[in-house]
Chain A
Amino acid sequence: MEHAIATELPLALFTTLAPISAGAFIAIAIALFATELSEKASKLLDKLSFVPLVVLAAAFIAAFFHLSTPLNAINVFGGLGRSPLSNEILAGIVFGVILLAYCVIALTGKLNGAVKKAFAAVVAVAGLAFAYFIGMAYAIPTIVSWNTPLIPLSIIGFTLLGGGLLGTVMIATAGGMAEARKTSFKAVMLIVAVLGIALSIGSVWAHYVMVSGIETAVVSGSALASGLVVYLAASTACAVLAFACQCAALLKVDSPAVAFVGVVLMIAAIVIARLAFYAMQISVGL
């Protein structure tokens, strides 16, 4: 784990903040489809649309710290279609551009009605696609411990729960939670949260079991994984508390503070899980 912290912290932060940014519009889109927000809440929510964009920018800035020569980053599209990393970055940029377009148009006040709902849904789908490509960046056949669908599933879980929490913070800050709670928003978002926590925790522990069964000439998967149990348990505890915050925000609490605490807890949960993931790298060879 010490090695993962020393070498992969920027990537851990990227794969934490990016899914949270990518999932925020799932909550926004559901709110817009399910609820007729007051004009005041709607306008404030439009202004807050920049929040996921700021989180996404922070994610990419963190990723840049991982690179030895960030100035050559313009070349990353050279591997499109071939390199999972190029695909991931393109998916992130497409998501960012769509999100930025939404924010700018929403601020002009010209985004209303069905068009606004459809646009929010497009942002949400682009975010989910980005989350999928983040996970697929680790599907490398020569890394036996990472080449599993559990990785994209875990990232999608982080996106649903972490992003859902960020969206809830935005809606609550805009003053729309009391209205949204009276509609199907509450039930749908609870389902999203349950799916998020199930995928987050389930995939992380299934991956732990999988790695425990890998033995190579270089690495004992069982010894490696057993040393990470305490970290995975801490991550799970943070994720469960974050889920509880989301439930409280959706069921009862109008203030954004509870969901905000949930976002912080989810950041902790994902960072720890991601560092443990990087520590569980086992090659088919050396």
Chain B
Amino acid sequence: MTQHGFYYDATRCTGCKTCQLACSDRYDLPTSYFYRHVFEYSGGDWKTEADGTVTTDAFVYHTSVSCNHCDDATCVKVCPTGAMHKDGETGIVEVDSNKCIGCGYCVMSCPYNAPTVDRDKGHSVKCDGCHARVSEGKKPICVEACSTRALEFGPIEELRKEYKGDADVAPLPSPEYTKPNLVIKKCVRSKASDDKSGTLSNRWEVM
């Protein structure tokens, strides 16, 4: 098996959410959920010094995340039916709609907010790494749509070798929990996943 995953460059991303919307258009998703989310993490403050000057350590940065097709995927582990499974060739986490009961256990357990239960479809839905497009030699739609080329997709070992990095970035969880196949190039203000100085500032947009 050649495990596939995503690369995300926080130094290029402007938080425009084109990746999110392109994905939504490609898969004709309802307005109630996305397969990809752009999280805005912000914090810091302004401080007035004794001499009257003002300094700030305020920050904000974005992280574009879909399913990370984790090595130790908690959604796969907890799924009672085996519907949530890893593809034997690519390591992509997929949903077998013929098995899924739509219990939402995967939704509860995923710390990346990746799967959703679509009750109209009757099963869990999520990013499958644009399996159909990739098998035709194309890139996932989010990668192709990104105007700043902040996203890449491919064999994760190649991405790790080329870009070097991990997914230890707030507000994402520590990679230790699920071992995500996500390589992030951090920006100057990026914080580690255990950071407590900021908050998810677009919570109502992405949760």
Instruction: Tell me the A residues contacting B by CB distance below 8 Å.
Output: 66-70, 72-73, 75-79, 82-86, 89, 140-143, 215-218, 281, 283-286
Q: From B1-9, B13-21, B145-153, B165-173, give the one contacting chain A.
A: B165-173
Does B77 lie within 8 Å of A82, measured CB to CB?
yes
B112 touches which of A89, A215, A216, A286 (Cβ 8 Å): A286
Report A-chain residues with C-beta under 8 Å of the C-beta of B173: 142, 283-286
Tell me, in angstroms, the Cα distance from A78 to B99 when the chains sit together. Answer: 9
Closest A residue to B111 by beta carbon equals A285
Report A-chain residues with C-beta under 8 Å of the C-beta of B170: 217
Residue B44, interface by CB 8 Å: no
Does B113 lie within 8 Å of A72, measured CB to CB?
no
Interface string of B102-124 (1 = CB under 8 A from A): 11110011111100011101110
Q: Contacts A218-B171, A286-B111 hold; do A68 and B82 have CB atoms under 8 A apart? A: no
CB proximity of A130 to chain B, nearest CB, Å: 16
Report B-chain residues with C-beta under 8 Å of the C-beta of A143: 108-109
Report A-chain residues with C-beta under 8 Å of the C-beta of B203: 218
Q: Contacts A67-B101, A286-B207 hold; do A217 and B80 have CB atoms under 8 A apart? A: no
Residue B41, interface by CB 8 Å: yes
Residue B90, interface by CB 8 Å: no
Does B172 lie within 8 Å of A285, measured CB to CB?
yes
CB proximity of B89 to chain A, nearest CB, Å: 21
Report B-chain residues with C-beta under 8 Å of the C-beta of A84: 78
Can you offer 25 A-B residue contacts whose CB atoms are under 8 A?
A68-B100, A68-B117, A68-B121, A69-B123, A73-B101, A75-B99, A75-B101, A76-B80, A76-B101, A79-B78, A82-B77, A83-B80, A83-B105, A140-B74, A140-B109, A142-B74, A142-B178, A143-B109, A218-B203, A283-B173, A286-B39, A286-B112, A286-B171, A286-B172, A286-B206
Tell me, in angstroms, the Cα distance from A76 to B56 when the chains sit together. Answer: 54
Tell me, in angstroms, the Cα distance from A143 to B193 when the chains sit together. Answer: 16
Report B-chain residues with C-beta under 8 Å of the C-beta of A86: 80
Does B102 lie within 8 Å of A68, measured CB to CB?
yes
Report B-chain residues with C-beta under 8 Å of the C-beta of A284: 111, 173-174, 177
Tell me, in angstroms, the Cα distance from A284 to B77 when the chains sit together. Answer: 17
CB proximity of A264 to chain B, nearest CB, Å: 29
Does A83 lie within 8 Å of B172, measured CB to CB?
no
Residue B143, interface by CB 8 Å: no
Most interface-central of B39, B41, B195 (chain A CB within 10 A): B39
CB proximity of B171 to chain A, nearest CB, Å: 4
A85 touches which of B103, B172, B196, B200 (Cβ 8 Å): B103
Report A-chain residues with C-beta under 8 Å of the C-beta of B23: none
Most interface-central of A78, A82, A217 (chain B CB within 10 A): A217
Residue B198, interface by CB 8 Å: yes
Report B-chain residues with C-beta under 8 Å of the C-beta of A85: 78, 80, 103, 105
Tell me, in angstroms, the Cα distance from A73 to B101 when the chains sit together. Answer: 6
Tell me, in angstroms, the Cα distance from A73 to B77 when the chains sit together. Answer: 18
Closest B residue to A76 by beta carbon equals B80
Does B101 lie within 8 Å of A283, measured CB to CB?
no
Tell me, in angstroms, the Cα distance from A82 to B74 when the chains sit together. Answer: 11
Tell me, in angstroms, the Cα distance from A143 to B113 when the chains sit together. Answer: 12
CB proximity of B90 to chain A, nearest CB, Å: 22
Closest B residue to A141 by beta carbon equals B177
CB proximity of A134 to chain B, nearest CB, Å: 14
Does A285 lie within 8 Å of B100, measured CB to CB?
no
Report B-chain residues with C-beta under 8 Å of the C-beta of A89: 80
CB proximity of B71 to chain A, nearest CB, Å: 14
Report B-chain residues with C-beta under 8 Å of the C-beta of A78: 80-82, 99
A79 touches which of B37, B79, B196 (Cβ 8 Å): B79
Tell me, in angstroms, the Cα distance from A155 to B80 when the chains sit together. Answer: 21
Tell me, in angstroms, the Cα distance from A165 to B183 when the chains sit together. Answer: 55
Does A286 lie within 8 Å of B101, measured CB to CB?
no
Tell me, in angstroms, the Cα distance from A84 to B103 when the chains sit together. Answer: 13
Residue B199, interface by CB 8 Å: yes
Residue B182, interface by CB 8 Å: no
The 7 residue pairs across chains A and B that have the minimum distance between CB atoms: A68-B102, A285-B173, A285-B111, A75-B81, A217-B171, A78-B82, A69-B122
Closest A residue to B124 by beta carbon equals A68
CB proximity of B33 to chain A, nearest CB, Å: 13
Does B78 lie within 8 Å of A140, measured CB to CB?
yes
B82 touches which of A70, A75, A142 (Cβ 8 Å): A75
